[in-house]
Amino acid sequence: MERNSTTDVPQGSVAQLGVAHLLEGLATRWIDVIDLTTELSHSTPTLELPEPFANLIDFSLEEVSAYNQPGPYWKHHNIHTGEHIGTHVDAPVHWITGRGGKDVARIEPARLIGPALVLDVTKEVAADHDFLLDIHHIKAWESNHGPIPEGGWLLIRTGWEARADDRQQFLNNDQQGPHSPGLTVECARWIAEESSLSGIGVETVGIDGGAAAGQKPPFPAHHFLLGHDKYGVTSLRNLSKLPPVGAALIVAPLPIVGGTGSPARVLALINA
Report the relative pairing of strands 182-183 and 132-133 from DSSP bridges. parallel
**3-state SS assignment for residue 225:** helix
Cα four-point dihedral sign 161, 164, 165, 171: positive
Residues 4, 6: Cα–Cα separation, whole Å? 7
Instruction: Yes or no: say if 268 and 242 are a contact pair by the CB < 8 Å rule.
Output: yes
Specify the 3-state DSSP secondary structure of 213: helix
Query: How long a stretch of residues is the chain?
Result: 272
Catalytic residue set: 94
Alpha helices in the chain (DSSP H): 19-27, 122-127, 135-145, 167-171, 185-193, 220, 227
